Structure 1
Amino acid sequence: MTTAPARLQQALLEAPLDKDSGATPMQRQLHHRIKEAILDGRLAPGSRLPGSRALAEALSISRNTVTAAYDLLAAEGYVAPDRQGTRVATLSRPAPPHRHLQRGASPAPAVALRLNRIPASPPRTDASATLRPGVPALSHFPLAAWRRAVDRAIRRSGPSALGYGDPLGEPALRASIARHLGIARGVRCEAEQVIITEGAQEALALCVRLLTNPGDTAWVEDPGYRGAKAAMHAGDLHIAPLRIDGDGVIATEDDWKSPPRLVYTTPSHQYPAGAVLTVARRLELIAQARRHGAWIIEDDYDSEFRHAGEPIGAMQGLVAQAPVLYVGTFSKTMFPSLRLGFLVLPAALLAEMQTPLEEMLRGGHRYEQLALSEFIESGQFSRHLGRMRRLYRDRQQALREAIARHLQVPHMIEGGHCGLHLTVRLPASYPDRKIAAAARRYGISPYPLSGFALQPRPEDNGLVLGYGNTSAELFEPLMRRLSQLARAAQIS
């Protein structure tokens, strides 16, 4: 009968240790081999391992290497030294896989059921893909000015900003955002009402965690922003879609007979259709929310980039003490990888949420927050926004002209007064998902409009075309290609 030391030496000698100078250190190789032999049962519990000298001689390696590997295995609990040597410890064994599983297959992980309700997004593409929605003009960002702002933040703060900061965000940035929102968006808030988040998505998730319980109802625009639906699915909410028209989201008296806990809306520039929620509907939504104890999430999606006239004021500032949580992000106005957004809490909620927020959040991105505050206060942010408004206005006009000249299928353009994208509705006979999938093979990344709807209707068919990060001179060849792909996808 073969002893445990002999079995181990045999197993190690069958596949020699790699002694090349660039290989994994010998001690780590030996540790891994012995650990695997224990875990897969080749070395049974209680088996005695070879002595360090004997194993070192058999493998032609240093005894110190063997001793170090044994010591690490003992520290991890795989082996236990005793007076007679080193023995394999007794470990619990995972249950064998069910008989119906194929050899080598793993059982499905027991994930939360709510995850199955989150649909997959269109396949992700690189930010440089043409016509991809939601990406700003990255090559036009003033990197030199931003680098100087970051350098100043590091010099002024020194190593102290390497530690945890205020969990609700750097006070300087919160004050800068409050001042900017008051002037540019008509938001009514004090600095302490501004909570810094890791982008708009964390702000939406916070709204769900702070204001709802599993099973509560949330209304969302349909078609609408997928990230909002994902945050609500993750909170185990019941999601009720509300249709939109040219005046924004529609909430009727019948809808309010079963009132929601949350209402998600993008009133200044509906995403993706581009409608502006009228003042009459804004006031009615606020009044009904107050009457029924609901809270409105106002996602101020890319409303800084309005191409005709002044930016439309935020719904949050329309009336005093509105039941509105205002969400914003710097992903479009600055750049996506900055990962800084904000949530403006109603004053009535601030006292109740202060302690939970301080426990739930941790300060981070401190140099970036301080740099962004200085970027805003120095006027660089406003100047950058002005340059980008002009650029996006010109790009949108060029895209409209290219569509008119080269998209030779029936279509209707929506969403032309703001933002970084246009929505082109198509007849149902031109399936948008099929066209978008074909376009990706050419490095073109429009999003199918039907993918934004919880309950797609035939009219929810079209392409969402991003022009923020695509040069205007590319629009004509891109539209010619899309026109060809649309005709090829047509259902007769």
Structure 2
Amino acid sequence: MVPRPSLSPAALLDTPLAKGREAGSMQRQLYDRLKRAILDGSLAPGSRLPGSRALAESLAISRNTVTATYEHLAAEGYVQPDRQGTRVIELSSPALPPRRAGKAGAVPGTALRLSKIKPAVSRADADMALRPGVPALSHFPAAAWRRALDRAIRAAGPAALGYGDPLGEPPLRAAIARHLSIARGVRCEPHQVVICEGAQEAISLCVRLLSNPGETGWVEDPGYRGVKAAMHAGDMRIVPLRVDSEGLCVSERDWVRHPPRLIYTTPSHQYPGGAVLGISRRLALIAQARAHGAWIIEDDYDSEFRHTGEPIGAMQGLVEEAPVLYVGTFSKTMFPSLRLGFLVVPTRLMPAVQASMEEMLRGGHRHEQLAMADFIESGQFSRHLGRMRRLYRDRQQALRLALQRHLQVPHEIEGGYCGLHLTVRLPARFEDRRIAAEALRHRIAPSPLSAFAMQPQPSDNGLVLGYGNTPAELFEPLVKRLSMLARAADVAGQKAS
């Protein structure tokens, strides 16, 4: 923005104001002119402004315009009226901004922990093909949802326009508790359910409630980036633990060397690898967490979409009073912009944190919450889940077949028996970040597997492919394009080395 030249005190009286709608009102122009002159020192502290009559005549404007402008400046503290007229107040000079350093660093005044929260990959549009985590938005029953919203608005009346229960609307909390008990094997009562703005806020809430700065949090590696951001924001020390074909790997030495306060895991469908945490590891993790006074955050982000066999039950319901905070979201089962998630707080923890949560949270999205309760209780939610399971199962199979036929580079397919994505591991020479960056140019948005790892290993090279919002008939041409990009990345890597 080009700075406008300062006007001398004499020019303030002589230079006419602009006319026309685009220039703005005379009062606004005069106010901006005088304020700028005071701030840049053209009108020195203690100097007196012209009388309202004299200035109005000089600029050929209404005296009322000048009077109103002076009153506005006085209200904001730029000038002080007295018996002799209106004088400029002496203002504190703001410090000049520091010179920009040659290298990027923390901005002075920001928390140092923010420097640890950095995007690992470029953001992709929601409608880009093969983007992980996006459901089939065109298949969402918008008409049924609109009717649920209309019923909620009519039934709730004007009262629902105010603040609601900070922990969420009681009908939705009750509906979620019933659904989780039947569909996921979660042990909970409605008072334990806390409504949040998606799973990310639920995870951040766990960090704020249960950890202190400097305490240790365990995360899966490779794993969900959002939990790392939440723990960094809480000034936690993050310890990444490897995952294998059976999920999170925890050794006795881990408990001794860096005992955790929080343990984050996706046991029913590890993200992004797709493994299921076996029963022996689940029970061992619960037992050790109890022994060490740790809390487990179970993120059950998309396990409603199990494609083969019976659903994998939640870890939270395995034993009574498990030290597990269960996190769920409607972003995958409904649509992301709904921004509704939930947290199930253990019974014995609830008395200690309820008052704090009621102070930290504010009721909101009341009509959406009431509509979601209606959607669940009316059976629309279950019917929608059934349709989506069939659709995603078919798309997963179609993508797997396309990869087998057309991905003409060495690869290994993982996952695919649950959720909305497949993970394709590639040899290290096919650099996944290079492939993903080139794919974005073609509006294809796979995520590089290495971007999910805090301590990447050569095996953490590959692509995470979302099939939720991509029609099956596009998979073959898309995979052919990815195959071409992978071969090109291999050639470019060889030349660079």
Confirm or deny a common fold (TM above 0.5): yes
Equivalent pair of 2:13/2:58 in contact (CA under 8 Å): no
CA–CA distance in structure 1, aligned partners of residues 443 and 55 of structure 2:
57
Structure 2 match to 1:375 = 375
Structure 2 match to 1:7 = 8
Structure 2 match to 1:208 = 207
1:107 and 1:482, CA in 2 relative to 1: closer, same or farther beyond 3 A?
closer
Q: CA deviation at 1:97?
A: 4.4
SS in structure 2 of the partner of residue 347 of structure 1? coil
Q: CA deviation at 1:56?
A: 2.3
- Pairwise mapping of residues 69-148 of structure 1 onto structure 2 (< 5 A)? 69-98=69-98, 108-148=107-147
Q: CA deviation at 1:348?
A: 0.6
Alpha-carbon deviations, 1:431-485, whole Å to 9, x = none?
Answer: 1111111111111111111100011111101111111111111111111111111
CA–CA distance in structure 1, aligned partners of residues 100 and 342 of structure 2:
47
Alpha-carbon deviations, 1:317-349, whole Å to 9, x = none?
Answer: 011110000001110101111111000000010
Structure 1 match to 2:235 = 236
Structure 2 match to 1:256 = 255
CA–CA distance in structure 2, aligned partners of residues 350 and 129 of structure 1:
41
CA–CA distance in structure 2, aligned partners of residues 443 and 12 of structure 1:
58
Equivalent pair of 2:218/2:260 in contact (CA under 8 Å): yes
Structure 1 match to 2:419 = 419
CA–CA distance in structure 1, aligned partners of residues 170 and 269 of structure 2:
29
Alpha-carbon deviations, 1:222-246, whole Å to 9, x = none?
Answer: 0000000100000000000000000
Q: CA deviation at 1:60?
A: 2.6
CA–CA distance in structure 2, aligned partners of residues 193 and 292 of structure 1:
23
Equivalent pair of 1:12/1:33 in contact (CA under 8 Å): no
TM-score between both structures, scaled by the size of structure 2: 0.94
CA–CA distance in structure 2, aligned partners of residues 477 and 300 of structure 1:
32
CA–CA distance in structure 1, aligned partners of residues 100 and 314 of structure 2:
55
CA–CA distance in structure 2, aligned partners of residues 211 and 313 of structure 1:
25
Q: Stretches of 4+ moved more than 4 A in 1?
A: 11-14
SS in structure 2 of the partner of residue 263 of structure 1? strand
Q: CA RMSD in A?
A: 1.8
Q: Which amino acid aligns with 1:21?
A: R
Equivalent pair of 2:13/2:55 in contact (CA under 8 Å): no
Alignment length, in residue pairs? Answer: 484
Equivalent pair of 1:46/1:89 in contact (CA under 8 Å): yes
Q: CA deviation at 1:404?
A: 1.3
CA–CA distance in structure 2, aligned partners of residues 475 and 17 of structure 1:
63
CA–CA distance in structure 1, aligned partners of residues 126 and 297 of structure 2:
28
1:395 and 1:85, CA in 2 relative to 1: closer, same or farther beyond 3 A?
same
Q: CA deviation at 1:168?
A: 0.6
Q: Percent identity between the aligned chains?
A: 73
Q: CA deviation at 1:200?
A: 0.6
CA–CA distance in structure 2, aligned partners of residues 236 and 55 of structure 1:
58
SS in structure 2 of the partner of residue 244 of structure 1? strand
SS in structure 1 of the partner of residue 349 of structure 2? helix
Q: Which amino acid aligns with 1:116?
A: S
Q: Which amino acid aligns with 2:205?
A: L
SS in structure 2 of the partner of residue 297 of structure 1? strand
- Pairwise mapping of residues 153-172 of structure 1 onto structure 2 (< 5 A)? 153-172=152-171
- Pairwise mapping of residues 50-61 of structure 1 onto structure 2 (< 5 A)? 50-61=50-61
Q: CA deviation at 1:59?
A: 2.5
Equivalent pair of 1:199/1:331 in contact (CA under 8 Å): yes
SS in structure 2 of the partner of residue 57 of structure 1? helix
SS in structure 2 of the partner of residue 373 of structure 1? helix
CA–CA distance in structure 1, aligned partners of residues 401 and 10 of structure 2:
76
Indicate the larger mover: 35-44 or 58-67. 58-67
Q: Which amino acid aligns with 1:309?
A: G
SS in structure 2 of the partner of residue 348 of structure 1? coil
Q: Which amino acid aligns with 1:383?
A: R
CA–CA distance in structure 2, aligned partners of residues 318 and 25 of structure 1:
69
Structure 2 match to 1:3 = none
Alpha-carbon deviations, 1:229-274, whole Å to 9, x = none?
Answer: 1000000000000000000000011111131011000000000000
Equivalent pair of 1:168/1:357 in contact (CA under 8 Å): yes
Alpha-carbon deviations, 1:13-41, whole Å to 9, x = none?
Answer: 65x54422244333222212221221122
Q: CA deviation at 1:57?
A: 2.6
Structure 1 match to 2:226 = 227
Structure 2 unaligned runs (5+)? 1-6
Alpha-carbon deviations, 1:47-106, whole Å to 9, x = none?
Answer: 1112222222333322222222211111011111111211111111112345x559xxx9
Structure 1 unaligned runs (5+)? 1-5
Equivalent pair of 1:149/1:374 in contact (CA under 8 Å): yes
SS in structure 2 of the partner of residue 311 of structure 1? coil
Equivalent pair of 1:296/1:325 in contact (CA under 8 Å): yes
